[in-house]
């Protein structure tokens, strides 16, 4: 009978240890040689600013083939440069190369001076002002909006309130139906005393939010990730990419108290958006007023915004031209995964190009009530399928 | 709350008994020593310092004689020796006193000394000096005994929840030493409930006086902190026992593999197993309603403690030449509202000019 220690391949383990030491030494050399972690490097110009908000206009890479500009509205929880995290995996660069005219909002880093900012201020104020600026600058009555995560929810709300200003709406991993308990954020938020939280902090620290995010996958996000860093530490480029992601994860602006209070109470706890009871400023939001074409993208393995929170949007909107796109991957993979670059960005571009004309779709007039697009491994044109 | 009230009611009743006995004892001491009141005893008429002292020491010594419970023996012996020692000095003083008086009165003579040495006269003098009153002494002794009993009872009433909690905890302690994780929580809960049901309530008592507000805030801050610590301990316990369960699963899986003749090839294999099992086990915990509620409670307790502490700090910092948080909040509110007004006016102007 073997003793327990006989069942461990000790020779292999000692070799592992030796290799690890070598990697650590090489990694230390590489780390010492990196003095700047560059992110968001696609060339852009500041075109509008209001308080801490900044609106940037990306410089086109080649000919602009989609005439209607696209405004990217990112979440306020993290920084918008996730869409341009590294030059070879950049949704922004990818869309620019596909001929889109891109603008992006940088919400900035709120301080306690911004503690009274509400959803009304962000949506009816800042977002509306940015849209108006782009409409003026591009001389278009309507523009395209691409909202991501919380920014997608805000974009959906905005589109319902101002359908006359939005030509096409693209939502990426954006929650709308908050009744689900599939994701821990949704489950945990229901027992959160957000009044006590906001009254105490005024502006909720990004670190506090991050502690919650890290806790959702404690072993993978706090342990495995750093152990696996050893696998890339010898390669300067891979190490730099790892550090870029690390920078983004912990570059978390605080959340303005009043805005977060309403977002948690009315959406996560009250699910008012789906019920048609959400009020932003003096306006009641009815998702049926989303009458422009909709491309709703969800990630099948999203642990932050589960499909159960994103998919129902297509059943709630008033438009007949609505497309549901399933991305096979997780929340972060949507932005930086290789599949995202190969499949998702071209699909978004194609979908917007199809709807760039003033009238009907360019390629087909046969728009069904509901369609589903699936990520296509060959990178061909997205397959459309009528689901009803 | 009901338990709290029981505790305070019982404590109150025992305190009332103490006061009642103390009042009665004081009255009887007064009668015995000073001859006041109707039952002053034989020497109720005129007394001097020595009568009072002697009666007191006698009364206490008698009382001590009756305190024969095992836990009072040490106290009794100590006090007896102390009082006995001082008595000896007193007696020495009394023996020499007539001589001193005679010397002072210049009446000292062999005749006078002879009178003093007469046994009968000496006894009479002693009786007068010491003024024993057996009834009064017995009464004082009984009073003292009752008083001590009542005091002990009151102290016991106050300590009861703590004693019971300690007894319960001690019973759980062997389990804790054996490594049963839930035993720690049992001990913690037992002791915290004892605290919360007794002196913990003092943190909510309204204060009076100039610094009333500060003292109240300070006490409530401490209370908030204690509540936070209690919930945090419970939360950490949930995390700890889940980690323990996860590791047990890892060991069981390893044992199964080894039992099946498999070999653990390297660190990575063990690491992957540990991370995967750990993540799954914690996910299962995080998905429960109990954990979500506990997390909500923890967050609420922590922010409540912070809020109260901030208020307290504002009170202490009020006299310093710095802007306080609430003052800044007011300022931010004013700026926010002004900005909105200006923005609205700008839009109106734009509309008019267009």
Contacts of A4 in chain B (CB under 8 A): 258
Give the model's confidence band at A369: pLDDT under 50 very low, under 70 low, under 90 confident, else very high: very low
B positions 164-203 inside 8 Å of A (CB): none
Mean pLDDT of A166-192: 95
Q: How far is B205 from chain A (nearest CA, A)?
A: 23
| Below-70 pLDDT ranges, chain B | 1-5, 7-8, 25-57, 59-61, 63-159, 176-182, 199, 201-204
Give the model's confidence band at A29: pLDDT under 50 very low, under 70 low, under 90 confident, else very high: confident
Least confident segment among A81-90, A282-291, A346-355, B27-36? B27-36
Point out the residue among A4, A16, A196 whose CB comes nearest to the CB of B266: A16
Average per-residue pLDDT for chain A: 89
**pLDDT at position A227 over 50:** yes
- Domain map (residue ranges) of chain B: 2-157, 163-348
Mean pLDDT of A181-207: 94
B295 touching chain A per CB within 8 A: yes
Mean pLDDT of A183-204: 95
pLDDT at residue B40, rounded to an integer: 40
pLDDT at residue B216, rounded to an integer: 82
Contacts of B258 in chain A (CB under 8 A): 2, 4, 7
Q: Render pLDDT for A323-334 as a digit per residue (tens, 0 to 9).
A: 999 999 999 999
**pLDDT at position A84 over 70:** yes
Contacts of B293 in chain A (CB under 8 A): 191
Contacts of A192 in chain B (CB under 8 A): 296, 299
Higher pLDDT, A11 or B335: B335
CB distance B278–A218 less than 8 Å? Answer: yes
Q: Residue A347 to residues A69, A91, A170: CA-CA distances in angstroms? A: 17, 11, 11
Exposed/middle/buried for residue A37 (C-beta within 10 Å: 0-12, 13-18, 19+)? middle
- Domain map (residue ranges) of chain A: 44-204+254-386
pLDDT at residue B113, rounded to an integer: 55
**pLDDT at position A344 over 90:** yes
pLDDT at residue A246, rounded to an integer: 93
Give the model's confidence band at A385: pLDDT under 50 very low, under 70 low, under 90 confident, else very high: very low
**pLDDT at position A207 over 70:** yes
Point out the residue among B263, B332, B335 whose CB comes nearest to the CB of A9: B263
B328 touching chain A per CB within 8 A: yes
Contacts of A121 in chain B (CB under 8 A): 340
Least confident segment among A199-203, A276-280, B136-140? B136-140
What CATH fold (topology level) applies to the domain A44-204+254-386? Rossmann fold (3.40.50)
CB distance A196–B303 less than 8 Å? Answer: yes
What SS3 string covers chain A? CCCHHHHECHHHHHHHHHHHHHHHHHHHHHHHCCCCCCCCCCCEEEEEEECCEEEEEECCCCCCCCCCCEEEECCCCCCHHHHHCECCECHHHHHHHCCCCEEEEECCCCCHHHCCCCHHHHHHHHHHHHHHHHHHHHCCCCEEEEEECHHHHHHHHHHHHCHHHEEEEEEECCCCCCCCCCCHHHHHHCCCCHHHHHHHHCEECHHHHHHHHHHHCHHHHHHHHHHHHHHHCCCHHHHHHHHHHHHHHHCCCCEEHHHHHHHHHHHHHCCHHHHCCCEECCEECCHHHCCCCEEEEEECCCCCCCHHHHCCHHHHCCCCCEEEEEECCCCCHHHHCHHHHHHHHHHHHHHHHHCCCCCCCCCCCCCCCCEEEECCCCCCCCEEEECC
The Cα B232–Cα B301 span in angstroms is 9
Contacts of B257 in chain A (CB under 8 A): 7
pLDDT at residue B219, rounded to an integer: 83
Mean pLDDT of A288-294: 97
Q: What is the largest CA-CA distance in chain A?
A: 82
Q: How far is A246 from chain B (nearest CA, A)?
A: 20
B243 touching chain A per CB within 8 A: no
Catalytic residues of A: 149
CB distance A7–B300 less than 8 Å? Answer: no
Nearest C-alpha in B relative to A6: B263
Q: How far is A259 from chain B (nearest CA, A)?
A: 14
Task: Say what the ipTM of the complex is.
Answer: 0.82
Q: How far is A112 from chain B (nearest CA, A)?
A: 8
pLDDT at residue B255, rounded to an integer: 86
Among B267, B325, B331, most A C-beta atoms within 10 A, so best to mutate, is B267
Buried-exposed string A43-60: b where 16+ CB fall within 10 A, e elsewhere: ebeeebeeebbbbbbbee
pLDDT at residue B294, rounded to an integer: 94
pLDDT at residue A381, rounded to an integer: 41
Among A218, A265, A303, most B C-beta atoms within 10 A, so best to mutate, is A218
Point out the residue among A113, A125, A192 whose CB comes nearest to the CB of B299: A192
A218 touching chain B per CB within 8 A: yes
Of A170, A122, A96, A115, which is closest to residue A327 (Cα–Cα)? A170
Nearest C-alpha in A relative to B340: A121
pLDDT at residue B266, rounded to an integer: 74
B259 touching chain A per CB within 8 A: no
Mode of pairing for the β-strands spanning A53-58 and A255-256 = unpaired
Q: Render pLDDT for A45-55 as a digit per residue (tens, 0 to 9).
A: 999 999 999 99
pLDDT at residue A292, rounded to an integer: 97
Q: How far is B188 from chain A (nearest CA, A)?
A: 25
B positions 333-352 inside 8 Å of A (CB): 333, 335-336, 339-340, 343
Give the model's confidence band at A230: pLDDT under 50 very low, under 70 low, under 90 confident, else very high: confident
pLDDT at residue B41, rounded to an integer: 43
**pLDDT at position A43 over 60:** yes
pLDDT at residue A370, rounded to an integer: 38
Q: Which residues pair with A284 in a beta bridge?
A: A279
**pLDDT at position A15 over 70:** yes
Of A322, A313, A317, which is closest to residue A287 (Cα–Cα)? A317
A positions 117-156 inside 8 Å of B (CB): 117, 121, 125
């Amino acid at each position: 009978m073997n003793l327990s220690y006989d069942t461990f391949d000790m020779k292999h383990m000692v070799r592992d240890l030796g290799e690890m030491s070598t990697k650590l030494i090489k990694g230390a050399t590489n780390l010492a040689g990196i003095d700047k972690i560059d992110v968001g490097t696609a060339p852009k110009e500041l075109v509008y600013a209001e308080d801490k908000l900044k609106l940037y206009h990306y410089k086109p890479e080649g000919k602009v083939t989609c005439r209607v500009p696209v405004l990217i509205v990112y979440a306020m929880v993290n920084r918008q440069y996730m869409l341009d995290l590294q030059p070879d995996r950049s949704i922004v660069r990818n869309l620019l190369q596909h001929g889109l005219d891109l603008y992006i909002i940088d919400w900035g880093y709120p301080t306690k001076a911004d503690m009274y900012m509400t959803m009304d201020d962000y949506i009816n104020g800042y977002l509306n002002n940015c849209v108006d600026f782009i409409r003026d600058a591009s001389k278009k009555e309507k523009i395209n909006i691409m909202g991501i995560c919380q920014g997608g929810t805000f974009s959906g709300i905005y589109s319902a309130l101002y359908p006359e200003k939005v030509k096409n709406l693209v939502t990426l991993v954006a929650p709308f139906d908050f009744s689900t308990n599939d994701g821990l954020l949704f489950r945990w938020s229901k027992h959160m005393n957000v009044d006590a939280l906001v009254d105490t902090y005024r502006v909720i620290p990004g670190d506090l939010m991050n502690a919650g995010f890290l806790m959702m996958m404690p072993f993978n996000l706090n342990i495995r990730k750093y152990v696996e860093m050893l696998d890339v530490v010898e390669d300067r480029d891979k190490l730099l990419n790892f550090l870029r992601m690390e920078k983004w994860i912990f570059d978390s602006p605080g959340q303005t108290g009043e805005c977060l209070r309403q977002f948690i109470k009315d959406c996560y706890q009250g699910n008012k958006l789906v019920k048609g009871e959400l009020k932003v400023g003096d306006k009641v939001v009815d998702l049926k007023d989303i009458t422009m074409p909709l491309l709703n993208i969800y990630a099948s393995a999203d642990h932050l915004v589960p499909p159960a929170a994103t998919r129902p949007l297509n059943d709630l909107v008033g438009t007949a031209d609505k497309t549901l796109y399933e991305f096979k991957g997780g929340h972060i993979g949507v932005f930086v995964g290789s599949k995202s670059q190969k499949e998702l960005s071209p699909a978004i571009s194609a979908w917007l190009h199809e709807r760039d004309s003033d009238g009907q779709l360019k390629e087909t007039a046969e728009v069904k009530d509901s369609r589903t697009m699936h990520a296509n491994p060959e990178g061909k044109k997205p397959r459309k399928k009528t689901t009803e | 709350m009901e338990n709290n009230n029981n505790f305070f009611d019982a404590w109150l009743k025992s305190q009332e008994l103490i006061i009642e006995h103390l009042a009665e004892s004081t009255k009887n001491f007064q009668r015995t020593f000073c001859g006041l009141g109707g039952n002053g005893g034989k020497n109720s008429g005129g007394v001097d310092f020595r009568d009072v002292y002697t009666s007191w020491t006698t009364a206490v010594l008698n009382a001590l004689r009756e305190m024969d419970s095992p836990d009072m023996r040490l106290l009794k012996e100590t006090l007896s020796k102390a009082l006995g020692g001082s008595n000896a000095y007193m007696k020495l003083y009394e023996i020499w006193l007539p001589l001193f008086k005679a010397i002072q009165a210049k009446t000292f003579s062999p005749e006078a000394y002879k009178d003093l040495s007469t046994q009968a006269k000496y006894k009479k003098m002693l009786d007068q000096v010491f003024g024993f009153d057996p009834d009064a002494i017995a009464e004082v002794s009984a009073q003292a005994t009752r008083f001590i009993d009542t005091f002990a009872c009151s102290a016991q009433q106050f300590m009861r929840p703590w004693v019971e909690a300690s007894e319960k905890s001690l019973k759980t302690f062997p389990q804790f030493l054996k490594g049963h994780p839930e035993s720690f929580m049992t001990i913690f809960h037992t002791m915290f409930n004892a605290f919360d049901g007794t002196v913990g309530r003092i943190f909510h008592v309204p204060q009076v006086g100039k610094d009333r507000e500060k003292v109240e805030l300070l006490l409530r801050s401490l209370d908030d902190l204690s509540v936070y610590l209690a919930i945090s301990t419970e939360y950490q316990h949930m995390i700890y026992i889940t980690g323990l369960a996860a590791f047990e699963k890892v060991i069981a899986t390893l044992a199964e593999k080894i039992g099946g003749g498999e070999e653990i090839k390297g660190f990575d294999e063990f690491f992957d197993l540990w991370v995967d099992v750990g993540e799954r086990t914690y996910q299962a915990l995080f998905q429960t309603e109990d954990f979500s509620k506990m997390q909500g409670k923890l967050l609420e307790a922590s922010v409540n403690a912070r809020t109260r502490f901030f208020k307290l700090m504002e009170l202490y910092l009020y006299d310093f030449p710095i802007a306080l948080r609430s003052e800044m909040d007011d300022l931010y509110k004013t700026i926010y509202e002004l900005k909105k007004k200006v923005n609205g006016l700008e839009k109106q102007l734009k509309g008019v000019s267009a």
